Every structure is written in structure tokens, then in C-alpha cells.
Amino acid sequence: GAVVSQHPSWVICKSGTSVKIECRSLDFQATTMFWYRQFPKQSLMLMATSNEGSKATYEQGVEKDKFLINHASLTLSTLTVTSAHPEDSSFYICSAKKGPETQYFGPGTRLLVL
Amino acid sequence: QKEVEQDPGPLSVPEGAIVSLNCTYSNSAFQYFMWYRQYSRKGPELLMYTYSSGNKEDGRFTAQVDKSSKYISLFIRDSQPSDSATYLCAMSLGSGANNLFFGTGTRLTVIP
């Protein structure tokens, strides 16, 4: 199997606070993980690529100081939304790369910033 | 022009129908092709994964790749209400390239 978990599944926070989302590959090791954002009825938007032991690579337009990514081990990557604002409210999904080209996705984290 | 084009639907079919979902792409360098199923408020689930041209079957699902036409398809036989979801095609360049290029997703409803 290839199971990816995310925690929390949903979070509500006040504007200005920081929120950390964890992504874990449960039954395989992943040197590369990805963070996506998805708006209602839209496809996935890649935010950044996270490589174990090195700095994340961010897509154009994604603020690296706002969306902090840490890939400290082969099974864990974290995304921290710093100083969250209502416009950061979204569905955040991580994936982990297994094998040459396949990505397995987590269940997603729904963030609501009040 | 987007690299991957997919009709967003929505697509409604009666239970038991054969469903055909399609994507076209512009980059002939794509080598790996995937179909994901995403239920509402859930992460995408990998359904099918194929390399290069040809067909691949898994139960009620058949994935088809035609690289000469830059066209991929997913067929669902004997569709069930539980198949109601958004189906995303995705493809990659291979050779260790990380990024997946996604279609916009087709929303499918199977009516009992």
C-alpha cells in the first residue's frame, strides 16, 4: 500500500496566528513530498516541493516566508501557515512521491481563518 | 493553452452505464499518465497509472493512452453511484521530474 496521512483534518484559527499542518507517509519513505492548495471546484495548485534534508522549492507566486515547509525526515513534512489571514482559508493537500513518478495524496486539511 | 485539457463536465449517467473520461495534452514529452479520483472534501486517490501508449485494465476501470494523438482516456464499466466523484487526469515528464501536470477534473454523477 501507499498511505499518506495529514493532521489536522480541519482547523479554525484567528487571523494573525500560525497553523502547522503535518503530512506523513505511513508505509513508505518519501524523499520528496508536495504541498498543494485547492479552491472549491478547482483543480490542485502546486505550492511547493519538499525534499528531505533540504530547502523546499516554491512555485512562482507562493510566498516562502508565509508558507514555511520543513521536511525533517523521510516520512514527515510540515507546512506552517504564518500570520494567517482569511484569504489563506483553503483546502491544503500534501502528496508523497513513491517510485519513479507516482504521487500518493493525503486526505487534505481544511483551514478556515476567521 | 494549458498543457493538459480536461472537460470539467458535469457528467451525469445512469447506473450501469459505461463512462468515458478524456484528457488531451500538448507536451509530447509526457511519459507517465495517471488518473485520480477525488471525493468531495477528500484528497485524490490514485486509480490508474500507465507508462507510454497502450491500455491497462483494473477491474471495472480501463486506462488508455494514445501518445500519437496526445489523448488519454479512462473508461468505467458498469458504473455505480459510488463512482460519483471528480476524476483528475495527471501526467509527468519522467526521468525523475517531480511535477505532475493536472487536468481540471471532470465531475461525474452516477444516478441510481
pLDDT digits (tens, 9 = 90+) for B71-91: 999 999 999 999 999 999 999
What's the pLDDT score for residue B1?
Answer: 65
What is the rounded average pLDDT of the residues A94-112?
A: 90
pLDDT at A12 over 90: yes
Q: Do residues A113 and A66 make contact, with C-beta atoms less than 8 angstroms apart?
A: no
- Nearest by CB to B43, which of A32, A97, A108? A108
Q: Do B44 and A32 touch (CB under 8 A)?
A: no
pLDDT class of B95 with cuts at 50, 70, 90: low
What is the rounded average pLDDT of the residues A18-45?
A: 92
Q: What is the distance of C-alpha A8 from the center of its chain? A: 11
> Distances in Å between the alpha carbon of B40 and those of A38, A88, A110, B109?
12, 20, 12, 12
User: Measured between CB atoms, does A60 come within 8 Å of chain B?
Assistant: no
Q: Do B43 and A106 touch (CB under 8 A)?
A: yes
Phi and psi at B108, nearest 5°, equal: -110, 135
Nearest CA-CA partner of A76 in A33, A109, A18, A20: A33
Q: Scan residues 71-110 of A and list those with Cβ closer than 8 Å to B.
A: 91, 93, 95, 97, 100-108, 110
What's the pLDDT score for residue B67?
Answer: 92
Question: How many Å apart are CA A46 and CA A35, to the nearest integer?
Answer: 6
Q: What is the dihedral of CA A34, A100, A74, A57, to 10 degrees?
A: -40
B chain contacts of residue A103, beta-carbon cutoff 8 Å: 46, 100
pLDDT class of A18 with cuts at 50, 70, 90: very high
What is the rounded average pLDDT of the residues A76-83?
A: 96
What is the rounded average pLDDT of the residues A19-30?
A: 94
Nearest CA-CA partner of B109 in B76, B86, B75, B77: B86
Nearest CA in chain B to A2: B46
- Nearest by CB to B43, which of A42, A93, A102? A93
User: Measured between CB atoms, does B61 come within 8 Å of chain A?
Assistant: no
What's the pLDDT score for residue A33?
Answer: 94
Amino acid type, A36: Y
Q: How many residues does chain A have?
A: 114
pLDDT class of A95 with cuts at 50, 70, 90: very high
User: Measured between CB atoms, does B92 come within 8 Å of chain A?
Assistant: yes
B105/chain A closest Cα distance in angstroms: 6
Question: How many Å apart are CA B76 and CA B62, to the nearest integer?
Answer: 7
A65/chain B closest Cα distance in angstroms: 22
What's the pLDDT score for residue B100?
Answer: 87
Task: Encode burial over A80-102: b for 16+ CB neighbours within 10 A, e otherwise.
Answer: ebeebeeebbbbbbbbbbbeebb
Percentage of chain A exceeding pLDDT 70: 99
What's the pLDDT score for residue A113?
Answer: 96
pLDDT at A101 over 80: no
What is the rounded average pLDDT of the residues B52-62?
A: 91
Lowest-confidence region among A23-27, B49-53, B64-68? B49-53
For residue A103, count CB atoms less than 10 angstroms from its CB and return exposed for 0-12, middle for 13-18, buried for 19 or more. buried
